[in-house]
Amino acid sequence: MRSPLSALFWRELRIARSVGGGGAMGVVFFLILVSLTPFAIGPDLNLLSRIGPAILWIAALLATLLGLDRLFQADADDGSLDLLLTAATPLELIVLVKCLAHWIATALPLVVASPLLGLTLAMEPESLAGISLSLLAGTPALTMLGAIGAALTAGLRRGGLLMAVLILPLTTPVLIFGVSSAAAASGGTVPFHIPMLILSALSLASLAGAPFAAAAALRARDA
Amino acid sequence: MRSPLSALFWRELRIARSVGGGGAMGVVFFLILVSLTPFAIGPDLNLLSRIGPAILWIAALLATLLGLDRLFQADADDGSLDLLLTAATPLELIVLVKCLAHWIATALPLVVASPLLGLTLAMEPESLAGISLSLLAGTPALTMLGAIGAALTAGLRRGGLLMAVLILPLTTPVLIFGVSSAAAASGGTVPFHIPMLILSALSLASLAGAPFAAAAALRARDA
Amino acid sequence: MTSLLARDLCVDRGGRTIVKNISFDLRAGEALVALGRNGAGKSTLLRAIAGFLPLSGGRLSHTGAEAEIPLPELSHYVGHADGLKSALTAAENLAFWARMLARSDETPSPSSALQRVGLKRLADFPVAYLSAGQKRRVALARLFMAPRPLWILDEPATALDIASQQVLAEAFAEHRAAGGMILAATHAPLGLVDAATLDLGSAPADLGGNA
Amino acid sequence: MTSLLARDLCVDRGGRTIVKNISFDLRAGEALVALGRNGAGKSTLLRAIAGFLPLSGGRLSHTGAEAEIPLPELSHYVGHADGLKSALTAAENLAFWARMLARSDETPSPSSALQRVGLKRLADFPVAYLSAGQKRRVALARLFMAPRPLWILDEPATALDIASQQVLAEAFAEHRAAGGMILAATHAPLGLVDAATLDLGSAPADLGGNA
Amino acid sequence: MLKYANPTNFLALAGRLIPWLAAATALSLGAGLFLTFFVAPDDYQQGSSVKIMYLHVPSAWLSMMCYVIMTSAALGTIVWRHPLADAAQKAAAPLGAIFTLLCLVTGSLWGKPMWGTWWVWDARLTSVLVLFLIYLGLIGLWQTIEEPAQAARAAAILTLVGVVNIPIIKFSVDWWNTLHQPASVFKIGGPAISGSMLWPLLIMAVAFTFLFLTLHLMAIRNEILRRRLRRLSIDAAHAEEKSEATA
Ligand code: HEM
Ligand SMILES: Nc1ncnc2c1ncn2[C@@H]1O[C@H](COP(=O)(O)OP(=O)(O)OP(=O)(O)O)[C@@H](O)[C@H]1O
Ligand SMILES: Nc1ncnc2c1ncn2[C@@H]1O[C@H](COP(=O)(O)OP(=O)(O)OP(=O)(O)O)[C@@H](O)[C@H]1O
Ligand SMILES: [Mg+2]
Ligand SMILES: [Mg+2]
């Protein structure tokens, strides 16, 4: 617990907790998004259970990305980012640890909450397990891709939308395979493990690549 | 064009236009959200046209609210908000004008773009007109409600999610009547003008009430 | 405005009384400098007088022709934040504040105010590209864009170079000669001649002895 | 680190060469103060030396035992932004930076560093509740949390009261006596005895004549 | 009345009231549960699942009553800036959230046998869910703003804005065509429910009200004490900080 990276990790978690209960807000946002859909679509349970996985995945996508926009912005504003550059720790590792803390504080609660929300959308039990597993496998990719967007917009002081606009298109593959593995879980022609493998591969690839992209973007900022 | 309020109005528009801000980003976000849905749901045109109004409305809701989070935050951070309090103009009017500028920069482009996006969702022509009109009538309520959330979180320096969590539940009536007027436009049991009237009433009520709530919230901030 | 009278002002923050029983009189042409160590409550006092924080006790009143106008509308406040939009140019920022803060319709042109602070040539640059001291000078130029009798200045000389500090001292003298008042908090000399001082002394817990 | 050598440093920003052909030598125990009017390029130069901005020309090298360690990792930077998280307490902030910036495992306790800047009792308060000068003092306390030979300080005395300026001057003397170096930009006296000065003179538009 | 608005007097009063309220809660809850499980008849249609009603309906009432109390406290905060009103508001939010959750959970449990599904998206259920979300938002706001007086004002504004939801919950069954039962107890023309079910229900409602009052008073007391502690520690720290610096 004495290394710089663990210090960073705990700092991030502590800050996340201080803001409206951190992860809790992400889950509540997720909950709200999921419950808005039936308001809009109407109370047709067949339809809802048909598009349930899609709703949950889109909501998770948005909750993850929107919580991310201040990942580096806050550090850039208060000068922490400059100081992190003078640490001996490579910036890539710093990015990775920040993402890890963010994933634990924001995405993990979504994974845990998703089966409950799926219930309100009248999804079947196998489907519920499928959605949880697919979120577990897929959200790391979302967080890492989002980190690239957050790094690109760190200096700009109006992240929010701009960051979402930059990164959302890149997340389409994750979304497609996420929904299809959730769908495969409740029967279908594709066996469950195929989209899950692809999803995990996407997550691994972005875990490997995104820290470099994000670190480069952070260094390129006109500080 | 010489009054304080018109000066404020033009300043807001100019800022929205600069730095990847306001209008354009909102529309792009809207566009991306709408086009993500078919990826998630699959290319079933019947289904898409069935839930088209719902998708468009949810996307418009999110694009409006998420663009709003810095409405007052930016002014609070750079000290402008303090100075605005020393102006002779009542804070309620200042809030109203800022919302107006924001609506023109962000929501109006959505209204214009929505029929085009509706086409991609295979919606019928009457439905397209309906969705545009309902967005025109309903988005002012979204902007004004969002302004309350923006004012409540102005001092907190990580509005985004919290603001959405505070305000989204209050927007449900707008969403419900928005979608139902869009649906009524393409036939149905309810005549089009009833949900439209309710929607307009919601917008008028929030135009009348929200500036007071938002101004009170801004004054309550520990500056 | 011919005078500003403060009697037993108290300001609470975070559940604590930060400013306790402060009284002073300020008359047209006078200046008052709040002194005291970090955390003494200088900024808190100034922000309360400018109307950004509620008073928890005491009375603040002003006399003169504008007695019925609320005090904040008679005051210019320059604090730690510059109140500038970095996407807009210096001239655009100033023109906006002139419209917003002036009571009359004819306001001086931004370029003449920027000239006074020696930034005329940078008038059309976005504020984002200015140095710390240049931004601060733009913020101070706001004082010239709308005539207001009371200037409330929280460490106004921060980041200013020697020449600009001189300009500021001259502006102070001119404002006072025209019957204006100045209320400033500072740790460094501001070039205010004959200014009264208000010593907030030590950290607030000590002031009232409620430790 | 026994010396820092800068030869013909140039830094570009926004398409303009802001810092042009700056050379200096700094040896163990020495201090160098960058002077110049607002916009002269002091902050730009300091940020380039700290590694936050790329050099567009010139050479920066250092000698001594740590010659193979990159310069930023040998430097403490204190700029306009304090680098503190307002939701965390002063002690938590400092403990974090000690872990992050120190090369060895044993770092001084935050409370001893806060004691030096006279804030020990406020150690467990969220930084959000501190005054401008108190925040600045917490930022400066970072200098004591990890030993690094080069201190790069951009207007470090901003918002400090007289007593804290004194503390800072003592810290400077101690750091130099232990063989450290100081590179500072300032408009106000810093209490640095025998410091060399580096005059960046006027705004770059004049420097390069590209008005 | 105003005398008890002073936090110190309030603490004394609360200290005296809480044991009595707790006793009243225990008594009425005991009586209510006994009536529910041993006296009240099973419904001829619903069988024993009707017993859920005795939890569901009181918690639904309390979820709304709590919001109404919170709204009055919010007015107190805005009009008088009274710290007691702040504490009353803050203490009410989590209680309201819990009662609302209880209403939602018991409703869902009841819905499964009655309507064949855990959840439908009708106006009554939806508006209760919105109430729950508003409570959650308020809790988030309280947690995020550290400074108590400021948090109280922000929460008060949000509470007042959200109060429109209460009549919507109450009248949703009359305004829209829903699956959910229309009002049968509080309605014009007297209750449309047999006495053997009405009495246990009313007693349970009284018990829940006592439970709420006890918990609310206790939470207000905690909040006032927490604030005092916080204030004392801040004052002490600043005093010592000063002496340390001058030493
Ligand atoms: C999660 C789902 C449910 C929610 C959120 C809910 C909500 C409510 C609310 C807010 C009330 C208070 C109404 C008032 O005071 O006027 C209420 C009362 C009541 N509910 Fe539910 N309910 C749910 C499910 C059910 C189910 C499944 C049944 C049984 C079929 C049911 C039967 C009743 C009855 C009998 C009352 C008393 C009505 C009266 O006497 O006024 N509810 N419910
Ligand atoms: N982000 C930027 N992009 C482009 N130009 C910039 C940027 N920041 C500063 N400048 C320009 O660079 C020049 C030097 O700025 P710098 O901040 O280094 O000045 P400084 O000497 O520190 O001044 P001060 O005394 O006001 O702090 C200024 O003319 C400024 O306009
Ligand atoms: N938002 C806040 N909430 C609670 N307490 C605060 C807040 N801001 C400042 N304080 C406390 O109020 C006291 C006075 O702060 P203030 O900023 O007025 O001091 P100051 O005299 O301006 O100091 P400086 O010279 O450092 O600017 C300090 O002890 C500080 O800790
Ligand atoms: Mg101050
Ligand atoms: Mg500088």
What is the secondary structure of C108-121 as a DSSP string? --HHHHHHHTT-GG
Percent of chain A at pLDDT > 90 equals 31
Nearest CA in chain B to C46: B223
- Judge residue D27's burial from the number of C-beta atoms within 10 Å of its C-beta, 0-12 exposed, 13-18 middle, 19 or more buried: middle
Helix (H) or strand (E) holding A12: helix A4-18
Mutation test residue for ligand 1: of E103, E165, E184, the one with most atoms within 8 Å of CB: E103
Calpha distance D1→D179 (Å, rounded): 8
ipTM score assigned to the predicted complex: 0.87
Residue A188 has pLDDT above 80, yes or no: no
Nearest to B79 among C79, C86, C87 (CB): C79
Give the mean pLDDT of chain B: 86
Residue C209 has pLDDT above 60, yes or no: no
Q: Residue E46: its pLDDT value, please?
A: 64
**What distance in Å separates residue C3's CA from the closest CA in chain B?**
19
Q: Residue A223: its pLDDT value, please?
A: 58
Percent of chain A at pLDDT > 70 equals 92
Percent of chain C at pLDDT > 70 equals 95
Q: Residue C208: its pLDDT value, please?
A: 29
Nearest to A45 among E117, E141, E143 (CB): E117
Range of the domain at A130: 4-219
C182 CA distance to ligand 5 centroid (A)? 27
C136 CA distance to ligand 2 centroid (A)? 12
Region for residue A96 given its phi and psi (left: phi exceeds 0; alpha: psi -120 to 50; beta: otherwise): alpha
**C35, C117, C121, C131: best to mutate for the D interface, most D CBs within 10 A:** C131
Residue E47 three-state SS: strand
Query: Exposed e or buried b for every residue in D2-16, given b needs 16+ CB within 10 A?
Result: eebebeebebbbeee
The stretch B20-39 carries a mean pLDDT of 76
Ligand 1 binding pocket includes E66 (Cβ within 6 Å): no
Contact with chain C for residue B220, Cβ under 8 A: no
**B86, B89, B91, B93: best to mutate for the C interface, most C CBs within 10 A:** B86
Region for residue E189 given its phi and psi (left: phi exceeds 0; alpha: psi -120 to 50; beta: otherwise): left
Non-local CB neighbours of B139 within 8 Å, separated by 6+ positions: B60, B64, B103, B107, B110, B111, B203
Ligand 1 binding pocket includes E142 (Cβ within 6 Å): no
The stretch E129-138 carries a mean pLDDT of 92
Structure tokens at B119: 């086409």
Structure tokens at A98: 């920040």
Choose from A42-51, A112-121, B137-146 the range with maximum mean pLDDT.
Answer: B137-146
Residue C152 three-state SS: strand
Q: Residue C203: its pLDDT value, please?
A: 46
Lowest mean pLDDT among B134-143, C130-139, E169-178: E169-178
Place E243 in a pLDDT band, splitting at 50, 70 and 90.
Answer: low
Percent of chain B at pLDDT > 90 equals 37
Q: Residue C204: its pLDDT value, please?
A: 43
Q: Residue B64: its pLDDT value, please?
A: 86
Choose from E43-57, E92-106, E174-188 the range with maximum mean pLDDT.
Answer: E92-106
D16-27: strand order across its sheet: D16-27, D3-13, D57-63
Which is more confident, E90 or A41? Answer: E90
Residue B85, CA distances (Å) to B147, B212, C175 in order: 17, 14, 23
Q: Residue E114: its pLDDT value, please?
A: 80
Determine which residue's CA is closest to atom 7 belonging to ligand 3: D129
Lowest mean pLDDT among B64-78, C128-142, C145-159, E111-125: E111-125
| CA nearest neighbour of C205 among E234, A143, B118 | E234
Place B121 in a pLDDT band, splitting at 50, 70 and 90.
Answer: confident
Q: Residue D211: its pLDDT value, please?
A: 29
The stretch A36-51 carries a mean pLDDT of 78
Lowest mean pLDDT among A53-57, C105-109, D175-179, D192-196: C105-109
Ligand nearest to the CA of D17: 2
Q: Residue D22: its pLDDT value, please?
A: 92
Q: Report strand pairing: D3-13 vs D16-27.
A: antiparallel
Residue B1 has pLDDT above 50, yes or no: no
Q: Residue C35: its pLDDT value, please?
A: 92
Calpha distance D8→D55 (Å, rounded): 10
The stretch C9-35 carries a mean pLDDT of 91
Residue A159 has pLDDT above 70, yes or no: no
Contacts B–E by Cβ distance under 8 A: 56
**What distance in Å separates residue C164's CA from the closest CA in chain D?**
9
Contact between residue C159 and residue D37 where contact means Cβ atoms under 8 Å apart: no
Q: Residue B65: its pLDDT value, please?
A: 84
Contact between residue A145 and residue A62 where contact means Cβ atoms under 8 Å apart: no
Classify domain C3-199 by CATH number. 3.40.50.300
Residue A164, CA distances (Å) to A161, B73, B137, B157, E97 in order: 5, 19, 26, 19, 32
Contact between residue C46 and residue C209 where contact means Cβ atoms under 8 Å apart: no
Residues forming a β-bridge with A3 = none
User: Residues of chain D whose pLDDT is less than 70?
Assistant: 202-211
Nearest CA in chain D to E144: D87
Q: Residue D210: its pLDDT value, please?
A: 31
Residues forming a β-bridge with C6 = C24, C60
Say whether E141 and A20 touch across the interface (CB within 8 A): yes
Task: Compute and round to an integer the Cα radius of gyration of chain C.
Answer: 17
Percent of chain E at pLDDT > 90 equals 38
Calpha distance C145→C98 (Å, rounded): 5
- Judge residue E53's burial from the number of C-beta atoms within 10 Å of its C-beta, 0-12 exposed, 13-18 middle, 19 or more buried: buried
Lowest mean pLDDT among B50-59, B81-90, B155-164, D163-172: B155-164
**B47, B57, B161, B180: best to mutate for the A interface, most A CBs within 10 A:** B161
Nearest CA in chain E to B159: E144
Say whether A122 and E137 touch across the interface (CB within 8 A): no
Determine which residue's CA is closest to atom 8 belonging to ligand 2: C129
Contact between residue B142 and residue B106 where contact means Cβ atoms under 8 Å apart: no
Which is more confident, C201 or B168? Answer: B168
Calpha distance D176→D192 (Å, rounded): 10
Q: Considering only CB atoms, which residues of chain C are within 8 Å of chain D?
A: 14, 36-39, 43, 80, 121, 129-134, 136-137, 155, 158-165, 187-188
Number of domains in chain B: 1
Place E226 in a pLDDT band, splitting at 50, 70 and 90.
Answer: confident
Residues forming a β-bridge with D32 = D183, D196
Lowest mean pLDDT among A208-212, D39-43, E8-12: E8-12
Q: Residue E191: its pLDDT value, please?
A: 59
Subunits with 3+ C-beta pairs closer than 8 A to C: B, D, E
Residue C142, CA distances (Å) to A75, C61, C139 in order: 30, 25, 6
| CA nearest neighbour of B171 among B194, B198, B196, B139 | B139
**What distance in Å separates residue E34's CA from the closest CA in chain B?**
38
**What distance in Å separates residue A49's CA from the closest CA in chain E?**
12
Say whether E121 and A24 touch across the interface (CB within 8 A): no
Q: Residue A158: its pLDDT value, please?
A: 59
Q: Kindly write down the DSSP assignment for every residue of C31-81, as one continuous string.
A: EEEEE-STTSSHHHHHHHHTTSS--SEEEEEEESTTTTS-GGGGEEEE-SS
Residue A96 has pLDDT above 90, yes or no: yes
Contact with chain A for residue E122, Cβ under 8 A: yes
Q: Residue A202: its pLDDT value, please?
A: 93
